[in-house]
Amino acid sequence: MAQIRIENVRKEFGAFTAVQSSSFTIEDGEFFMLLGPSGCGKTTTLRMMAGLELPTSGEIFIDGEEVGMKPASQRDIAFVFQMFALYPHMNVRRNISYPLLSQGVPKAEVKSRVEEVARILRIEDILDKPVGGLSGGDRQRVALGRAIVRRPKAFFMDEPLGALDAEFREHMAEELRALHDRMGATTVYVTHDQLEAMQMGDKIVVMNHGVVEQFGKPQQIYDWPATKFVAKFIGSPPMNFLDFEGMIGIGGDSVELAGTRIKVPVSRQGAQGALTLGVRPENIHFSDGSAYRGRVVATEYLGTTQIVTLSTPNGSIKARVSSAEKINPGETVGLDFASHTLTVFSQERGHALL
Ligand code: ATP
């Protein structure tokens, strides 16, 4: 197991900066997600931690040891790629044994370690089958087996489930997480899928344009997004943004929206001018008594809940409410926002003021 720490790590490719100076710590045994849209620098960050790419500047520590110049082969880590390359002419046992045999591990030990891994992955019954005829899921398990059998300090996974269809992907995600919980090895996992990151991760780093936007537990990131980018990238439908001109003082706990006072959590930073109130769709409630009103534009039935699109004085928003609420397009409804869940952003810089 391993603690991995990166400090002010930066990567340039020629004149292009793929990763701006970044710092965070992955604790021993954590399932850690690098999350962000395509091209944000998550793979480059992972490759630098793994030793497949040299940082332009900054330091990387594994268990306190600076490993910046150490090649991947000496970092005692294992990679699991999306396109799992197995040796098609070998059977499952041989595929899993291969890394140990090539390290010169004695045959008896190889046998017992392969069988232990097969038990963990529940593939004992296919050990002697050729990999050619296996299902996608079994192939993925064999690829994992090959990574696990070396007992590395940490696993690095770059969109390992990216090629799978949605249903199977969910199943394998659960398996991977359960496997991690049984083995406890530090795992760093790259994904652009916010749901996957929320479901699987102990901690998440959210990146955008080479910048670490936020780093924390899934719930912290969901409840207290540090930037508008994070607020929009996480959650479906994403957080609503209600733009307004106004002010909030340091320690202030309300803002004025279209003449209505809206209570918000206490502000850490004061600001004046162009602000944005952030409200998650599930934190909007219909209330006849509320002076803040919206007109129903559309409803989308999702079973127990429905998504209601509303036009407000501060722009279009989406609310997630019970399907038992009877509402029709064209109606005007009072809107209550669950105060303790609101956040306020500066429009110019996009960061949260609460
Ligand atoms: P994706 O999910 O699309 O792989 P990502 O977030 O993993 O995205 P990276 O692969 O880290 O992003 O790439 C970040 C940026 O750096 C991209 O704009 C990419 O084109 C660029 N880049 C990556 N590797 C190189 C390279 N070897 N030379 C030049 N530019 C590169």
Task: Say whether both 161 and 60 belong to one domain.
Answer: yes
Tracing tokens 């943004």 back to the chain, one arrives at: 241
- Residue 36 Cβ inside 6 Å of ligand 1? The answer reads yes
What confidence score (pLDDT) does residue 82 get?
A: 58
- Residue 13 Cβ inside 6 Å of ligand 1? The answer reads yes
Q: How much distance in Å is there from the Cα of 193 to the middle of ligand 1?
A: 17
Instruction: Tell me, yes or no, whether 172 lies in a domain.
Output: yes
Which among 197, 226, 255 is the end of a domain? 226
Instruction: Tell me, yes or no, whether 44 lies in a domain.
Output: yes
What is the pTM (predicted TM-score) of this model? 0.89
What confidence score (pLDDT) does residue 83 get?
A: 54
* Neighbour count for residue 27 (Cβ, 10 Å): 14
Q: How many domains does the chain have?
A: 2
Q: Nearest Cα to 235, choosing from 225, 245, 248?
A: 225
Which among 226, 257, 291 is the end of a domain? 226
Pairing of the two strands 4-13 and 57-62: antiparallel
What is the Cα–Cα distance from 185 to 179, expressed in whole angstroms?
Answer: 9
Instruction: Tell me, yes or no, whether 232 lies in a domain.
Output: no
What does the pLDDT look like over 63-103, one tens digit per residue?
A: 999 998 888 888 888 887 655 678 888 999 999 999 899 88
Q: In terms of residue numbers, what domain contains 39? A: 4-226
What does the pLDDT look like over 255-275, one tens digit per residue?
A: 999 999 999 999 988 899 999
Which residue among 44, 52, 54 is best mutated to probe the pocket of ligand 1, counting the most ligand atoms within 8 A of its Cβ? 44
Phi/psi-derived region of residue 217, left when phi > 0, alpha when psi is between -120 and 50, beta in every other case:
beta
Q: Whose CA is nearest to atom 5 of ligand 1?
A: 39
Task: Say whether both 124 and 273 belong to one domain.
Answer: no
Instruction: Tell me, yes or no, whether 267 lies in a domain.
Output: yes
Q: Whose CA is nearest to atom 31 of ligand 1?
A: 13
For residue 297, what is the domain's CATH number? Answer: 2.40.50.140
For residue 81, what is the domain's CATH number? Answer: 3.40.50.300
Q: How much distance in Å is there from the Cα of 17 to the middle of ligand 1?
A: 10
Longest dimension (CA), the chain: 78
Q: What is the DSSP string of 126-142?
A: GTTSBGGG--HHHHHHH
* Neighbour count for residue 221 (Cβ, 10 Å): 27
Task: Say whether both 293 and 213 belong to one domain.
Answer: no
Q: Whose CA is nearest to atom 20 of ligand 1?
A: 39
Task: Say whether both 161 and 269 belong to one domain.
Answer: no
Instruction: Tell me, yes or no, whether 352 lies in a domain.
Output: no
Instruction: Tell me, yes or no, whether 196 lies in a domain.
Output: yes
Instruction: Tell me, yes or no, whether 266 lies in a domain.
Output: yes
Task: Say whether both 328 and 214 belong to one domain.
Answer: no
Which among 174, 196, 226 is the end of a domain? 226
Which residue among 22, 42, 209 is best mutated to probe the pocket of ligand 1, counting the most ligand atoms within 8 A of its Cβ? 42
What confidence score (pLDDT) does residue 151 get?
A: 85
Q: What is the mean pLDDT of residues 6-30?
A: 97
Instruction: Tell me, yes or no, whether 340 lies in a domain.
Output: yes
